[in-house]
C-alpha cells in the first residue's frame, strides 16, 4: 500500500530522533495524513503479513464495549496483555509492576467502553452497564440512516474525566463518518452514496501499530457500510506524532525493499447487524504478502 510506504520513507528521511516515555528513542515527524480509497481493495499491508484475525477480534472487543482482556486472550489475541486498569495497578517499567499489570485482567474504561457507554461511572469489567452513559456507536448508526448529510457524526474515545483510569490513553482517539452524495433510488428504493471514515490519532507507532489501525478502521468502515446500505468510500487517517522507534528502523528498511502486491478483498458472511457481528464472520480474499518481519517487542 503506497500511502503507508510514503509515510515510512518520510519519517526515515525527515524524522527527528528524540527520547520519549518508553525509554526507546524514536524518529518523529509532526503530523501526516493517510488516505485510501476502498474501491482499490481492503487496506491490509502486503509488504509484510498483517493477521486480520487479531485486527478483527480487537475490533469486535471494542464494538461490544468489553474491557476484560481475558476475552481477547481466550481468542488467542495478546495485544493488550501488558496493560491494565490504572486504578488497580499504576503504570510502571519495573519488573514487579510489569508482572502485576500482566496478571490484572481489567483494562478500565478504554476505547469500547467510551464508544458504547461514554462517561458512565466505571465499576470494573464485570459490571452491567446496559443503558448507562452515551451509546455513541448506536447514535452514529441512527444518524447515518436518518440524516446522512450530517457533519457531526463523530465517536470519541477521549474522555478527559476518565483518561487517567484507562489502561492506555486512546492513541486513536476519535473517528468521523460522512456520506458522499446520499440519495435513494426511486425505482429500487436502494440507497446511493459512499460512506467515508476519518480517524484521528495522537500517537502513531508506524511499524507495529499503524498497519493494525489502518486495517481496523478499514474493517469498521466496511461494517458500517453494510449496516447502513451505502457503498464503501474513502478511509482517511489524521495522524499526530507519527514515529519510528530506533529498534524498528532496520525492519522498516527491509519492508521498503519489498514491492507492494495487489490488495485483497474483504467479505463478511451472514451479516445481520454490526452489534451481532463476530470477528470470524469477516475474511480477506486473495491476500498475498511478503511474510512476517520481526520488529521485536512493542514499546510500552
Which cell numbers hold the place of 221? 468502515
Mean pLDDT of 155-183: 97
**CA gap 120, 125 in Å, rounded:** 13
C-alpha distances out from residue 142 to 22, 129, 215, 246, Å: 40, 21, 24, 44
84, 134 contact by CB (below 8 A): no
Could you give phi then psi for residue 16, rounded to 5 degrees? -100, 130
Q: pTM for this one?
A: 0.96
pLDDT digits (tens, 9 = 90+) for 75-99: 999 999 999 999 999 988 899 999 9
Among 276, 29, 37, CA closest to 180: 37
Would you state the pLDDT for residue 186? 87
pLDDT digits (tens, 9 = 90+) for 214-264: 999 999 999 999 999 999 999 999 999 999 999 999 999 999 999 999 999
Catalytic annotation, pick one of 110, 171, 215, 235: 171
**CA gap 209, 58 in Å, rounded:** 13
β-bridge pairing 265-268 and 231-245: unpaired
Host H or E run for residue 249: helix 249-256
Helix, strand, or coil here: 215? helix
Domains and CATH numbers, the chain: 2-50+139-285 (3.30.572.10)
65, 116 contact by CB (below 8 A): yes
231, 221 contact by CB (below 8 A): no
pLDDT digits (tens, 9 = 90+) for 177-226: 999 999 999 888 899 999 999 999 999 999 999 999 999 999 999 999 99
Strands (E), the chain: 16-18, 26-37, 154-156, 172-184, 191-205, 231-245, 265-268, 282-285
Statement: residue 300 has pLDDT above 60: no
Host H or E run for residue 71: helix 69-73
Is 171 among the residues known to form the active site?
Answer: yes
Statement: residue 132 has pLDDT above 80: yes
A 10 A CB-CB count for 169 gives: 17
Amino acid at each position: 500500500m503506497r500511502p503507508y510506504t510514503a509515510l515510512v520513507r518520510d519519517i526515515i528521511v525527515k524524522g527527528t530522533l528524540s527520547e520519549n516515555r518508553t525509554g526507546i528513542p524514536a524518529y518523529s515527524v509532526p503530523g501526516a495524513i493517510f488516505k485510501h480509497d476502498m474501491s482499490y481493495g481492503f487496506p491490509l499491508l502486503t509488504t509484510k503479513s498483517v493477521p486480520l484475525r487479531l485486527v478483527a477480534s480487537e475490533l469486535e472487543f471494542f464494538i461490544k464495549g468489553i474491557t476484560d482482556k481475558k476475552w481477547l486472550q481466550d481468542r488467542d489475541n495478546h495485544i493488550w496483555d501488558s496493560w491494565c486498569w490504572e486504578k488497580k495497578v499504576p503504570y510502571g517499567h519495573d519488573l514487579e509492576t510489569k508482572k502485576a499489570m500482566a496478571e490484572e485482567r481489567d483494562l478500565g474504561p478504554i476505547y469500547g467502553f467510551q464508544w458504547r457507554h461514554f462517561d458512565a461511572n466505571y465499576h470494573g469489567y464485570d459490571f452491567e452497564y446496559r443503558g448507562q452513559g452515551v451509546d455513541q456507536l448506536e447514535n452514529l448508526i441512527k444518524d447515518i440512516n436518518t440524516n446522512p448529510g450530517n457533519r457531526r457524526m463523530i465517536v470519541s474515545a477521549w474522555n478527559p474525566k476518565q483518561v487517567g483510569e484507562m489502561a492506555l490513553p486512546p492513541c486513536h482517539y476519535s473517528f468521523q463518518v460522512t456520506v458522499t452524495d446520499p440519495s435513494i433510488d426511486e425505482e429500487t428504493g436502494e440507497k446511493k452514496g459512499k460512506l467515508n471514515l476519518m480517524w484521528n490519532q495522537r500517537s502513531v507507532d508506524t511499524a507495529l501499530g499503524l498497519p493494525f489501525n489502518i486495517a481496523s478502521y478499514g474493517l469498521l468502515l466496511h461494517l458500517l457500510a453494510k449496516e447502513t446500505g451505502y457503498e464503501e468510500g474513502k478511509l482517511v487517517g489524521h495522524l499526530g506524532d507519527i514515529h519510528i522507534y530506533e529498534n524498528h528502523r532496520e525492519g522498516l528498511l527491509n519492508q521498503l525493499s519489498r514491492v507492494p502486491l495487489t490488495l485483497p478483498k474483504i467479505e463478511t458472511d451472514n451479516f445481520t447487524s454490526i452489534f451481532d457481528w463476530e470477528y470470524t464472520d469477516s475474511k480477506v480474499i486473495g491476500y498475498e504478502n511478503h511474510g512476517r518481519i520481526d520488529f521485536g517487542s512493542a514499546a510500552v
